[in-house]
Chain A
Amino acid sequence: MREPTVRKQNIHHNHLKTRLIIFGTLAILLVVCSFFSEYLCPYDPYLQDLGNAKAAPSLAHLFGTDRYGRDMLSRVIAGSRTSIYSTLLLVGFITVFGTIAGIVCAWNGGRLDSVVMRISDMFLAFPGLVFALAVAAVLGGGVQNAIIALAAISWPKYARVARSQTLAQKETVYIRAARLSGCSSSKLIIKHILPNIFGPVLVTAMLDIGTMMMELAGLSFLGLGAKPPVPEWGSMLSDTRNLLATHPWVTLAPGFAIFVSVMIFNLLGDTVRDWLDPRNAR
């Protein structure tokens, strides 16, 4: 009975590798493209040309133009920088900060642990976007403030993951042995704990990229993220929603961009999770 299972796993494993390569490449492509976005735009994304406003998609303007006659393709490409980079920055920041908080709490335990964990409980008790809205409203608009708002609400998840993993590792025999042989705390954390909790934290982060991208776009849509005329997918959607019924391409372009990039990052996240899953051991 065991044999077919093994074979199944092998097939799965092979698929996994292909998937990892495909989605990894796509994601890297997206990030690289957004980095060089200013060289990729066929037109100046800020250049208004009222004479050519609301033009339907054509060879000259693949995604058409918006109400100010700005080329939508250029704006979507330019917007990728704001959208993707803010998301990566946000996820990177909360991963690092949350992990550090989690490890420190688990390692030291005691009062610090209780206090920080209760604070994180408080944050977890709020509905995410509503809290982020409140924070962004207090701080004012702008991408920077939207990132701060979302970071404030999202770090506890990472702290929790890191903490539970560290607690488990802390009690393992090899850590005790290392400690007995005189290894310092910092060395223990960096050399032994971190590499061992890296997998679950990475998976959480990868799966979060898509969500964060949506939430950032959501805040911008509500007017609390990027300010016009800065191209950002969420605010572009919001700006042009009046035109949805009459000139749909103007709204579809940023919507499509959000859809594609969120999908790529989500699929990549799923693949990385499967890849790191011990059941798919290489």
Chain B
Amino acid sequence: MKLKKLYAIALSVCLGISLLTGCGGQKQEGPEKPDTSAASAAAAEQSEEKKTLVIGDTTFNASNEEYDVNPHNAYSGWACIRYGVGETLIKYSDEMEIQPWLASEWENVDELTWKITLRDGVKFSSGRDMDAAAVKQCLEHLLEVHDRAQKDTKIASMEADGQVLTIKTSEPKPALLNYLGDPYGCIIDVDAGFENGIVAGTGPYVAVELKTDDHLTLVKNENYWGGTPHIDELTIRTITDGNTLANALLSGEVQAAYGMAYESYPLFQNDDYRISQIATSRCFFGKMNFDASSVCKDPAVRKAIAMGIDKEGFVAVLLDGNGYPANGTFPSGFAFGGDKVTAESYDPEGAKKVLEDAGWTDSDGDGIREKDGQKLTVKWLTYPSRQELPLLAESAQATLKEIGIEVDVNCTADHIEAVKEPTAWDVYAMANVQCPTGDPEYWFTVFATSDATKNQGKYNSAKLDELEAKMSQTFDPDQRAELAIEMQQTVLDDHAFVYCSFLKMSMISRANVSNYTSHACDYYQVTADLDIQ
């Protein structure tokens, strides 16, 4: 008996000691270090002075085709420009008008020729001067490897002379400069290489380390032409889960965040945080699949889907009012946007009738319609990194069920591969900045024309292609706007796309972070002004 008691006491003493040492271990480390040597004391002092900032981002990942910061790789240019690595020839104002950036001025010599004068005194982070020859080399490489750039710009040849670059296009390209303001147009030093997806740009920060889907480390560019940046070391951390991002910002693990779920906003609407919000052309929309195997091949089904989504409810409740219901392709701020076009509005009864008339009836009483033995099931493909896309899917699932359409949601980070398989989806709901170049042509050539790079639904409209051909030759902005309206209406009449909402994009930071500001085109995030107190 005594022995047992002794054992028990010994054990509890051991346990107590181990617990205490566990707690004490961390405390001791701090004060011990500076005492060891003068050198480490100096290092500690230095690190105290060193300004660091960590930004959490839900969208800097492979599932958004942002693999690295190489602008010539898919959509990685977005990361390049957002995190201050690269800059483009022109910059967009808050009103989405083009302004000089790396180009100081430009001239449209004739329909096919553009003369661009580059800014003096700009250096790449590799040390090389940015002159016309370097820009030419960069654009040549871009055209060689980037599909979208080739299609958009139609550059035939370039000539470099000191700081003047002359570009000739194979056909008239009124929106050439707008296109060169796209993130893929970031000017980089091609000779510096693309190792690990890291490039040498002209921006305020220099990428030093990168791991796709994990993090990007940047240091300040001491020789930046636009003044000295304030942050010594900047880290971009990929945190795809919105809830994790909210907790990281609350705990101070990150000091700023992009892509936060709107549901988490109430946590940050206080004096400890800053929210910078702006209306953008970022849109949640659904692409219809015109493949023969898809139920969306049937115009009635497409029309019913367009009539069966409660956009107002989605925006007011699930986006917490951080957006606007979408009518057409572009938001109302543009000359060719908003209610200049007419689209289907939420009308469940009307949608039921459309399906009824097309022969889709519920014959077995399970609430889902059938036609010729085929059940009206819509495979809805979407992805989670834009936090509200899954909510849109579940909301559409409920409203479409009302009208007799079953929605089978596949919400996967692997959507880029899934969408390539024509039988794997009927509606592909995605988020996209519709008018990042301030010009309407971009959207149609990327998503809607029969040869568009991202037309995975194989939508094919002769009328649209014809209008696009016309637009690509039209220089007058008013005429372009008119064409854009007609083109949107064509797409809407075919119900090839269903536009749900435009978003107010917001970036949230701790109150001691300054100049972390969102921009209407959603490109610019980290600038030389970014600072932390």
Residues of A within 8 A of B (CB): 46-48, 50-51, 53, 67-69, 227-229, 241-246
A67–B267 CB distance below 8 A: no
Partner of A50, one of B242, B263, B264, B318: B318
Q: How far is the CA of A68 from the CA of B314 in the complex (A)?
A: 9
A228–B409 CB distance below 8 A: yes
A246–B263 CB distance below 8 A: yes
A48–B243 CB distance below 8 A: no
B246–A228 CB distance below 8 A: no
Stretch at the interface among B105-113, B393-401, B478-486: B393-401
B243–A68 CB distance below 8 A: no
A67–B316 CB distance below 8 A: no
Query: Besides the contacts A228-B397, A242-B263, what 7 more A-B pairs have beta carbons closer than 8 Å?
Result: A46-B401, A50-B313, A53-B318, A68-B395, A68-B398, A228-B394, A228-B409
Q: In the complex, what residues of B have CB within 8 A of residue A50's CB?
A: 310, 313-314, 316-318, 395
A246–B398 CB distance below 8 A: no
B266 interface residue per 8 A CB criterion: yes
Give the total number of A-B pairs whose CB atoms are below 8 A apart: 53
B74 interface residue per 8 A CB criterion: no
A53–B243 CB distance below 8 A: no
**Can you name 19 A-B residue pairings with CB atoms under 8 Å?**
A46-B398, A46-B401, A48-B395, A50-B313, A50-B316, A50-B318, A50-B395, A67-B317, A68-B394, A68-B398, A69-B317, A227-B409, A229-B397, A242-B243, A242-B264, A243-B263, A245-B246, A246-B263, A246-B266
Minimum distance in angstroms from B500 CB to a CB of chain A: 14
Q: How far is the CA of A245 from the CA of B398 in the complex (A)?
A: 26
Minimum distance in angstroms from B120 CB to a CB of chain A: 50
Given A67-B391, A228-B409, A242-B243, residue A48 in contact with residue B398 (CB < 8 A): yes
B267–A245 CB distance below 8 A: yes
Given A50-B313, A50-B316, A69-B317, residue A242 in contact with residue B394 (CB < 8 A): no
Q: Which of A47, A51, A229 has the most CB of B within 10 A?
A: A229
Q: How far is the CA of A164 from the CA of B264 in the complex (A)?
A: 54
Residues of B within 8 A of A (CB): 242-243, 246, 261, 263-264, 266-267, 310, 313-314, 316-318, 387, 390-391, 394-395, 397-399, 401, 409
Residue of A nearest to B384 (CB): A223
Q: In the complex, what residues of B have CB within 8 A of residue A227's CB?
A: 409
Chain B interface, DSSP helix/strand/loop, else mixed: helix
Q: In the complex, what residues of A have CB within 8 A of residue B266's CB?
A: 245-246
Given A67-B318, A242-B242, A242-B246, residue A229 in contact with residue B310 (CB < 8 A): no
Chain A interface, DSSP helix/strand/loop, else mixed: loop
Residue of B nearest to A223 (CB): B411
Minimum distance in angstroms from B321 CB to a CB of chain A: 12
Q: How far is the CA of A229 from the CA of B391 in the complex (A)?
A: 11
Q: In the complex, what residues of A have CB within 8 A of residue B242's CB?
A: 242
Partner of B243, one of A46, A51, A69, A241: A241
Q: Which of A46, A51, A241 has the most CB of B within 10 A?
A: A241
Residue of A nearest to B391 (CB): A67
Minimum distance in angstroms from A161 CB to a CB of chain B: 30
Q: In the complex, what residues of B have CB within 8 A of residue A53's CB?
A: 317-318
Residue of A nearest to B313 (CB): A50
Q: In the complex, what residues of A have CB within 8 A of residue B317's CB?
A: 50-51, 53, 67-69
Q: How far is the CA of A227 from the CA of B390 in the complex (A)?
A: 12
Q: How far is the CA of A245 from the CA of B314 in the complex (A)?
A: 22
Pairs A-B, 6 closest by C-beta atoms:
A50-B313, A48-B398, A50-B317, A53-B317, A242-B263, A246-B266
Q: How far is the CA of A153 from the CA of B393 in the complex (A)?
A: 33
Q: In the complex, what residues of A have CB within 8 A of residue B263's CB?
A: 67, 242-243, 246
Q: How far is the CA of A51 from the CA of B409 in the complex (A)?
A: 23
Minimum distance in angstroms from B180 CB to a CB of chain A: 39
Q: How far is the CA of A68 from the CA of B267 in the complex (A)?
A: 20
Residue of A nearest to B398 (CB): A48
Q: How far is the CA of A67 from the CA of B316 in the complex (A)?
A: 11
Residue of B nearest to A244 (CB): B243
Residue of B nearest to A53 (CB): B317
Partner of A246, one of B267, B310, B318, B394: B267
A229–B394 CB distance below 8 A: yes
Q: In the complex, what residues of A have CB within 8 A of residue B313's CB?
A: 50-51
Q: In the complex, what residues of B have CB within 8 A of residue A47's CB?
A: 398
Q: In the complex, what residues of A have CB within 8 A of residue B387's CB?
A: 242
Q: How far is the CA of A241 from the CA of B314 in the complex (A)?
A: 19
Q: In the complex, what residues of B have CB within 8 A of residue A51's CB?
A: 313, 317
Q: Which of A50, A67, A243, A244 has the most CB of B within 10 A?
A: A50
Q: How far is the CA of A243 from the CA of B318 in the complex (A)?
A: 12
Q: How far is the CA of A67 from the CA of B246 in the complex (A)?
A: 18
Residue of B nearest to A52 (CB): B317
Minimum distance in angstroms from B125 CB to a CB of chain A: 38
Minimum distance in angstroms from B333 CB to a CB of chain A: 26
Residue of A nearest to B393 (CB): A228
Q: Which of B261, B317, B394 has the most CB of A within 10 A?
A: B317
Q: How far is the CA of A120 from the CA of B316 in the complex (A)?
A: 54
Partner of B399, one of A48, A241, A246: A48
Q: In the complex, what residues of A have CB within 8 A of residue B391's CB?
A: 67
Q: How far is the CA of A130 from the CA of B531 in the complex (A)?
A: 43
Q: How far is the CA of A229 from the CA of B409 in the complex (A)?
A: 9
Residue of B nearest to A69 (CB): B317
Q: Which of A46, A228, A242 has the most CB of B within 10 A?
A: A242
Q: How far is the CA of A69 from the CA of B401 in the complex (A)?
A: 16
Q: In the complex, what residues of A have CB within 8 A of residue B310's CB?
A: 50
Q: How far is the CA of A48 from the CA of B390 in the complex (A)?
A: 15
